[in-house]
Amino acid sequence: MRGSDKLLMQVRGVPLLRRQALAALEAGDHVAVALPAHDHPRAEALRGLPVQIVEVPDAELGMSSSLRRAVSLLPRGLEGVMILPADMPEITAADMSQLIAAFRAVPHPTIQRATAEDGTPGHPVLFPSDCFPALQALSGDFGAKAVLTANIHRVRDFPLPGARALIDLDTPEAWQEWEAAQQAAE
């Protein structure tokens, strides 16, 4: 983002990180947010929200460090964990709620993975609690791909409208295009 923090970029006057945390709180029972430190500027965007801040000082070592730390600090007894990158502004509380409902509707533990309307795999992904040990053993900068691959027979795809399961904003150009599309749609 050339010096800008994408998670602090404003979406309708609200930092993206706060917006996504609010949506997750509306949909889920417990929300944990991985941050580099409790005094990081991103923490200010979450001020006043009932979220669990998970400090991940070694986050620069890859996405897996955030996943390992967050999963290790989750409250006991959770059915599963939904992994939602915060830079995906089109994922809504309704999307998350529907994914949770699909997860709970299956009598045996499955992995629910959101896809684009055309079936392209995306986010969020909901892992059952029996995947927690595998998530805690991850390394590198590949997220939970290894856990998905090892459990591909258990993955159930859940299509979301359009491409919202794929849209993440990693560059200033992506932000500009997305904002222009939002304004055009209004």
pLDDT digits (tens, 9 = 90+) for 160-174: 999 999 999 888 898
Residue type, 101: A
pLDDT score recorded for residue 140: 79
User: Closest Cα partner for 83 from 124, 141, 30?
Assistant: 124
pLDDT score recorded for residue 166: 96
Cα separations (Å) of 19 from 23, 47, 96, 111, 158?
6, 12, 14, 25, 23
Q: Where are the alpha helices (DSSP H) in 50-158?
A: 63-72, 93-105, 132-136, 145-150
Homologous superfamily in CATH for domain 6-185: Spore Coat Polysaccharide Biosynthesis Protein SpsA; Chain A (3.90.550.10)
pLDDT score recorded for residue 174: 87
Q: Which two tokens stand for residue 80?
A: 């599963």
Q: How far apart are CA 30 and CA 12, in angstroms?
A: 25
From first to last of the 186 residues of the chain, give the pLDDT tens digit.
666 888 999 988 999 999 999 999 999 989 999 998 889 999 999 999 999 999 988 765 568 888 999 999 999 999 999 999 999 999 999 999 999 999 999 989 999 999 999 999 999 999 999 999 999 999 877 789 999 999 999 999 999 999 999 999 888 898 889 888 888 887
What single string gives the DSSP state of each residue in 9-32?
Answer: SEETTEEHHHHHHHHHHHH-S--E
pLDDT score recorded for residue 60: 59
Q: How far apart are CA 161 and CA 99, in angstroms?
A: 13
pLDDT score recorded for residue 64: 87
3-state class of 119 per DSSP? coil
Model confidence pTM above 0.85: yes
Question: Domain coordinates of the chain in residue numbers?
Answer: 6-185
